[in-house]
């Protein structure tokens, strides 16, 4: 719709480098961050995380318990306060869905596809007989592969638009929450849980009238602020934007996305003075309603918003700010998150 046309126009000429933009803070926690340098190393030493590859980590029971506790609270908030329906979606997402959503042209740099071998006996034979001897197993796989129309999801909300495609929302707005494994090929990972190749995302998706969707995003943002305060975490919510791919370049900072406050991020301090976005609150205008034929009672395209949380990041920020020893956490925080106190 109008919004994406506007975005396309502005991305073309008006790109700001990150450092020239002052973060506009809309909410700030009353807690102060503690010096958390060395948290990742301590988690690794305690056996709570182990590196399995760049940006790929195994996590132990305690870490997982904190992550699940956080997720349970976010799920309960979505279901309890926003009447969200909970769905589980597969870890394969249709390539066509991502194309319709515009993901492939906006963020090709992150995309992970799911290919397989061409379906014939000759291919299997030729592949299997080369496995032991070829130098480059990756190239060998690729030479025998084809794309079957599925990718790995870069976020969980695309499943929701596909799920609701063609739906009329005569009875009012729809709210869906889901959680799943997401994949993004980032340009660089550090030895840390801050930025991962594969991570877990909890999303809440609002679809309906423009004002209702905007109000729900605002209300969820404020509830999440309360939750962060209750968790004893320092942090803030600020206006943000996305690194679009445009004209062969990654256009990092886009004035219009900031000016229209389409994206807010919940930023939590971690190690070495760095903060990470543990969640983002996004408004899409009619973009997805119109791409997926989701309509309002008057026949117009529905508006949408999505709120996504990176659960590993969120849990990691808790360990950074409260320490790696769960027994030393404030009792009420531990009680909020642990299933076996
Ligand atoms: P960033 O600016 O840090 O790259 P983003 O704007 O790309 O984040 P969104 O697309 O808004 O992130 O995704 C929603 C949430 O998913 C983020 O707020 C973050 O918590 C999480 N997330 C995104 N990318 C990663 C990643 N590579 N590793 C871990 N969590 C991530
Ligand atoms: Zn989303
Ligand atoms: Mg990103």
pLDDT score recorded for residue 324:
96
Residue nearest to atom 24 of ligand 1 (CA): 195
- From 190, 262, 265, 280, mutation site for ligand 1 pocket: most ligand atoms within 8 A of C-beta: 280
pLDDT score recorded for residue 261:
82
* pTM (2 d.p.): 0.92
Checking DSSP bridges between strand 49-53 and strand 85-87, what pairing results, if any?
unpaired
Residue 182: count other Cβ atoms within 10 Å of its Cβ: 23
Ligand 1 centroid to 341 CA: how many Å? 30
What ipTM was reported for this prediction? 0.99
Ligand 1 centroid to 203 CA: how many Å? 12
Tokens representing 187?
A: 């340009």
Max intra-chain CA distance, the chain: 65
Q: Could you tell me if 245 and 260 are in contact, meaning their C-beta atoms sit under 8 angstroms apart?
A: no
For residue 195 and ligand 1, the question of a CB distance below 6 A is answered with yes
Residue that is written with structure tokens 């769905």 in the block: 87
- Cα 340 to its chain centre, rounded Å, is 28
For ligand 1, what atom is nearest to the CA of residue 189?
Answer: 27
pLDDT score recorded for residue 103:
96
> Over its length of 341 residues, how does the chain's per-residue pLDDT go in tens digits?
444 544 444 443 334 444 445 679 999 999 999 889 999 999 999 999 999 999 999 999 999 999 999 999 999 999 999 999 999 999 999 999 999 999 999 999 999 999 999 999 999 999 999 999 999 999 999 999 999 999 999 999 999 999 999 999 988 889 999 999 999 999 999 999 999 999 999 999 999 999 999 999 999 999 999 999 999 999 999 999 887 777 777 766 667 777 778 999 999 999 999 999 999 999 999 999 999 999 999 999 999 999 999 999 999 999 999 999 999 999 999 999 987 64
For residue 316 and ligand 1, the question of a CB distance below 6 A is answered with no
pLDDT score recorded for residue 172:
81
Nearest-angstrom CA–CA distance, 210 and 283: 9
Ligand 1 centroid to 246 CA: how many Å? 19
pLDDT score recorded for residue 249:
73
Ligand 2 centroid to 282 CA: how many Å? 7
* Burial class (CB within 10 angstroms; exposed 0-12, middle 13-18, buried 19+) of 164: buried
Checking DSSP bridges between strand 85-87 and strand 174-183, what pairing results, if any?
parallel
| CA separation, residue 274 to residues 27, 59, 224, 249 (Å) | 18, 22, 21, 26
pLDDT score recorded for residue 259:
75
């Amino acid at each position: 719709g109008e919004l994406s046309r506007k975005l396309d126009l502005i991305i073309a000429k008006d790109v700001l480098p990150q450092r020239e933009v002052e973060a506009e803070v809309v909410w700030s926690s009353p807690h102060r961050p503690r010096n958390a340098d060395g948290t990742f190393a301590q988690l690794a030493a305690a056996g709570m995380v182990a590196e399995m590859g760049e940006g790929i980590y195994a996590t132990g029971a305690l870490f997982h318990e904190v992550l699940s506790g956080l997720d349970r609270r976010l799920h309960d908030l979505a279901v309890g306060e926003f009447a969200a329906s909970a769905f589980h979606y597969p870890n394969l997402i249709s390539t066509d869905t991502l194309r319709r959503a515009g993901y492939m042209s906006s963020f090709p740099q992150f995309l992970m596809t799911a290919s397989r071998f061409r379906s014939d006996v000759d291919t299997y034979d030729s592949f299997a007989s080369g496995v032991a001897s070829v130098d480059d197993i990756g190239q060998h796989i690729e030479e025998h592969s084809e794309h079957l129309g599925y990718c790995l999801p870069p976020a969980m909300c695309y499943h929701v638009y596909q799920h609701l495609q063609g739906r009329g929302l005569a009875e009012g707005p729809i709210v869906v929450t889901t959680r799943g494994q997401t994949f993004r090929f980032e340009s660089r990972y550090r030895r840390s849980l801050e930025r991962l190749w594969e991570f877990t995302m909890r999303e809440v998706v609002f679809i309906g009238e423009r004002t209702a969707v905007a109000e729900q995003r605002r209300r969820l943002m404020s509830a999440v602020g309360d939750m962060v305060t209750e968790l004893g975490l320092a942090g803030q919510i600020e206006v943000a934007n996305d690194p679009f791919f445009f004209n062969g370049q990654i256009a990092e900072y886009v004035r219009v996305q900031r000016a229209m406050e389409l994206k807010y991020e919940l930023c939590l301090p971690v190690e070495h003075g760095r903060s990470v976005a543990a969640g983002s609150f996004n408004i899409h205008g009619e973009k997805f309603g119109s791409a997926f034929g989701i309509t309002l009672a008057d026949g117009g395209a529905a508006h949408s918003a999505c709120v996504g949380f990176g659960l590993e990041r969120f849990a990691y920020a808790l360990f950074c700010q409260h320490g790696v020893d769960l027994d030393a956490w404030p009792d009420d925080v531990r009680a909020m998150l642990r299933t076996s106190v």
